[in-house]
Amino acid sequence: MPDPDRLPSRRLIPITLNISRSSGFIDALRVSDAVFGAGYTDAIVGTGIPSLAVVEADVWGTSEEEARTEAMARITAKLPAEYRITP
């Protein structure tokens, strides 16, 4: 069993994700529902550009990469297939 004193500590890490859609326009309500449904109820979803949504959230993780990867997976699972998430 690993020594608990040597395990990386989890902390809240701010992340930003870009969500786009292959057909162009973003359904802001669908994106917001996916983000909040993935458990990021304190996230901010910005939709100032019709073809792009930006998500800012604080995610628990041991590194920025881990937090971003987990958030991308959880949100992708809630979005329709034509939506794409990039860091």
Q: Give the CATH number, domain containing residue 36.
A: 3.30.70.100
Residue with token string 């994700």: 17
Residue 65, token pair as written in the block: 């990469």
Residue 15 falls inside a structural domain: yes
Gap between the Cα atoms of 75 and 79, Å rounded: 6
Contact 37, 78 (CB under 8 A): yes
The mean per-residue pLDDT over the stretch 50-56 comes to 94
Q: Tell me if 2 is assigned to some domain.
A: no
Share of the chain above pLDDT 70, in %: 92
Q: How many structural domains does the chain have?
A: 1
pLDDT at 10: 87
Could you tell me if residue 50 is inside a domain?
Answer: yes
Residue that has been written with the tokens 């890490």 in this structure: 13
The verdict on residue 61 lying in a domain is yes
Average pLDDT (6-22) is: 88
